[in-house]
Structure 1
Amino acid sequence: MDGPLEWVAAIGTIIAASLVAFDLGRRTTAWGFVLFCLVSALWIGIGLTSDAMPIAAMNLILLLINAWGVWQYWFHPKNRKAKD
């Protein structure tokens, strides 16, 4: 697990965490959750193909949590008016 896909997933995870943690506004945070979803899907694929089930299982749960974050920040009716 030291190939280019793992590096893309790792760097994407760092960027996504930064977008969420820096709290630069609702839109930026929402994009952080979208990026988290993408890299979680990538980590799931990496885990399944590298026989690393703990990585795949963890990222399946994280994908669901981050998809909920996308819903909350972009699509939930109570938050639609609060967009940046």
Structure 2
Amino acid sequence: MADIAGWLALAATCIAALMTASNLGARVTGWGFVVFTLGAAAWIVVGIATQQTQLLWSNIFLGLVDLFGIWRWLGRRARFSDAAETEQAISRAQPGENLFAASTLDGMPVRGRDGDILAYAVDAMLACAGGELSHLVIREGGVGGVGETLRRLPWREVRARDGALLTTLDAAALSRLPALDPA
């Protein structure tokens, strides 16, 4: 029994770690915590069956943390996401400009005038006085964070449409934008 529970715990923990680390939205992260809870329960069985007190108590604690994660991501955060999606749907049903949730900017592709992906949005900078959007922080190049260049893309050069950010700039013009030094 301990052997089966150990393999189940291992699989659940690995799958849950991928689900939460992927940052694919509130629901995927929340379900990742559900899978983490199953893994913690299986590790508790292993701890009891093999008389490993540290394994038992660490996973009792982690199970409680996982329950907090479920509440936060499947309860609270999912409710926030649902509200933003409702606001987007309402805006699409009305004439005029469609709205999109600012929280969806992270990772959104920035497409150049030819339609090719030039960069990805990282964040948006808003003016404290007035609240208007000043510019996007974008990332280009590199692999997995290594060799990436962060740049400031003025919002006046961007339009949001169909899950992407569109700019009139081409790759050469984008490469001339100011690079940001995170240090």
Higher helix share: 1
Q: CA deviation at 1:65?
A: 0.5
Moved over 2 A (4+): none
Q: Which has the higher contact order (CA 8 A, sep 6+)?
A: 1
Residue 79 of structure 2 corresponds to 80
Q: Aligned partner of 1:11: which letter?
A: A
Q: How do 1:2-41 residues align onto structure 2 when only pairs under 5 Å count? A: 3-41=3-41
Are 1:42 and 2:42 an aligned pair? Answer: yes
Residue 60 of structure 2 corresponds to 60
Which whole-Å CA distance do the structure 1 matches of 2:5 and 2:41 have between them? Answer: 12
Which whole-Å CA distance do the structure 1 matches of 2:11 and 2:73 have between them? Answer: 23
Which whole-Å CA distance do the structure 2 matches of 1:24 and 1:81 have between them? Answer: 15
Contact 2:5 2:45 in 1 (8 A): no
Using structure 1 for the length normalisation, give the TM-score. Answer: 0.87
Which whole-Å CA distance do the structure 2 matches of 1:25 and 1:79 have between them? Answer: 8
Using structure 2 for the length normalisation, give the TM-score. Answer: 0.42
Q: Which structure's CA Rg is the greater one?
A: 2
Residue 169 of structure 2 corresponds to none
Which whole-Å CA distance do the structure 1 matches of 2:68 and 2:80 have between them? Answer: 18
- 1:3 aligns to what SS in structure 2? helix
- 1:44 aligns to what SS in structure 2? helix
Structure 2 gap ranges (5+) = 86-183
Percent of pairs with identical residues: 33
Structure 1 gap ranges (5+) = none
How many residues are matched? Answer: 83
Q: CA deviation at 1:31?
A: 0.6
- 1:61 aligns to what SS in structure 2? helix
Aligned-pair Cα RMSD in Å? 2.0
